[in-house]
A and B are shown apart, each in its own frame.
Chain A
Amino acid sequence: MSEEMDMEEGGTIKKFMFVNRKAPYGTIYALESLEVVLISAAFEQDVSLAFVDDGVYQLMKGINTDGIEMKSFAKTYRALEGYDIEKLYVDRESMEARGISEDDLIVDVQVVSAAEMADLMNEQDVVLSF
């Protein structure tokens, strides 16, 4: 196993968007998405993340997972910048419906309207929903 696969010179760069719609715990979707995102970074693709519906809870500060005996992975979203993944979009309506503001989030994001989010999705080569 090589640690990181070298892309051939001039390899195609595609636009990938990972859409996160589910709460961070209770299902494996959020963690799986995050792991795929980190792996995709090794392929030097144009990666962005969208947080919609309950997915906005994934970025909440101060999540305490002691009661469910699971490791909290909220801090890992802060590592994304080091992986050159800096495009994080959060749906405004989903935040407002849950009483969440940008100050409640663990990383810097761009808050966008549903229409803007739809445009962003249209620009992608690949959209993966978790």
Chain B
Amino acid sequence: MATVNIAGKDIEVDEEGYLTNLADWNRDVAEYLAKEEKVDMTDAHWEVIDFLREYYDEYQIAPAIRVLTKAIGKKLGADKGNNKYLYELFPYGPAKQACKIGGLPKPTGCI
């Protein structure tokens, strides 16, 4: 178990860099995790992160990528609900990378 110091606060992460305690998440933490992932956060990134966090709040799981793209398409429009758009924002895998930045566990069904 590793600890990282973000804005003066020690925060536990697992061996892959996911937060151990979901309650530790805030915007500063997200910015830090994004930097680690070499993702430059824009409004478009935040939109996906916020969507994922709402999804998690509602269903208590992080969605698989196929489910994520479909759900985003429904809520934010077809131009955003596709792999190309999401991979442009999160090149190393939208589900994995966005979940990490969003302070959520790795998606169930991530195989």
A residues contacting B by CB (< 8 A) are 1-5, 35, 38-39, 41-42, 71-73, 75-76, 78-79, 82-83
Q: How many A-B residue pairs have CB under 8 A?
A: 57
Chain A residues contacting B11 (CB-CB under 8 Å) are none
B48 to chain A minimum Cβ distance, whole angstroms, is 15
A87 to chain B minimum Cβ distance, whole angstroms, is 17
Extra 20 A-B pairs, beta carbons < 8 Å, given A3-B65, A3-B107, A71-B60: A1-B110, A3-B93, A3-B96, A4-B64, A4-B65, A4-B111, A35-B108, A39-B109, A39-B111, A41-B64, A41-B67, A41-B109, A42-B109, A75-B58, A75-B59, A75-B60, A76-B61, A78-B59, A79-B58, A82-B63
Q: How many residues of B contact A (CB 8 A)?
A: 19
Does B13 lie at the interface of the complex (its beta carbon under 8 Å from any beta carbon of A)? no
Chain B residues contacting A72 (CB-CB under 8 Å) are 60
Within B55-91, which residues are at the interface with A (CB < 8 Å)? 58-61, 63-67, 70-71
A3-B95, A3-B96, A75-B58 are contacts. A83–B111 as well, Cβ < 8 Å?
Answer: no
Q: List 15 A-B contacts (CB under 8 A).
A: A1-B110, A3-B64, A3-B93, A3-B96, A4-B65, A38-B108, A38-B109, A41-B64, A42-B64, A42-B111, A75-B60, A76-B59, A82-B63, A82-B71, A83-B64
In the docked arrangement, what's the CA distance between A35 and B108, Å? 7
In the docked arrangement, what's the CA distance between A5 and B110, Å? 9
In the docked arrangement, what's the CA distance between A83 and B71, Å? 10
Chain B residues contacting A79 (CB-CB under 8 Å) are 58-59, 61, 63, 67
B64 to chain A minimum Cβ distance, whole angstroms, is 6
In the docked arrangement, what's the CA distance between A76 and B57, Å? 10
Chain A residues contacting B109 (CB-CB under 8 Å) are 4, 38-39, 41-42, 83
Best-buried of A1, A3, A5, A78 by chain B (most CB within 10 Å): A3
Cβ–Cβ contact A78 & B58, under 8 A:
yes
Select one of B58, B66, B70, B71 contacting A42, CB under 8 A: B66
In the docked arrangement, what's the CA distance between A54 and B26, Å? 39
Chain B residues contacting A83 (CB-CB under 8 Å) are 64, 67, 109
